[in-house]
Amino acid sequence: MTTDKKQNALQADDNQRPFTKINFYMMGGCVALIILGFLLMSGGGSDNPTAFNPEIFSTRRIVVGPALAFLGFLLMAFAIIYTPKGKKERK
């Protein structure tokens, strides 16, 4: 097989793949952001079930954690849709 045929075969195989390496990196970062958001929301339990623990209403648990998780889900949609410029031109 000549180098031109190999290059055309690799390029054809590349065009069949829906995601590039950049997409996978972006999706991995989004998954990490979602996990971080859920970890920030966790906790706040009390050892005594009859006692009230005001820690469950902390800003970290009701604002920061959900905001990070939601941002991760939004960016995940972008990471799936994103197509690099080089791949658009080859189609």
Q: Report if residue 1 sits inside a domain.
A: no
Q: Report if residue 8 sits inside a domain.
A: no
**Segments forming the whole domain that contains residue 42:** 21-90
Q: Report if residue 66 sits inside a domain.
A: yes
In degrees and rounded to multiples of 5, residue 53 shows phi and psi of -115, 110
In this structure, how many other beta carbons lie within 10 angstroms of the beta carbon of residue 33? 19
State residue 56's pLDDT score: 84
The DSSP secondary-structure symbol of 64 reads I
State residue 9's pLDDT score: 61
pLDDT of residue 18 exceeding 90: no
Q: Report if residue 15 sits inside a domain.
A: no
Q: Report if residue 10 sits inside a domain.
A: no
Q: What is the pLDDT of residues 28-87, one digit of tens each?
A: 999 999 999 999 999 877 788 888 888 888 999 999 999 999 999 999 999 999 988 876
Query: Distance between CA 6 and CA 2 in Å, rounded?
Result: 6
The pTM score is 0.74
Total structural domains in the chain?
Answer: 1
The DSSP secondary-structure symbol of 20 reads -
Q: Report if residue 11 sits inside a domain.
A: no
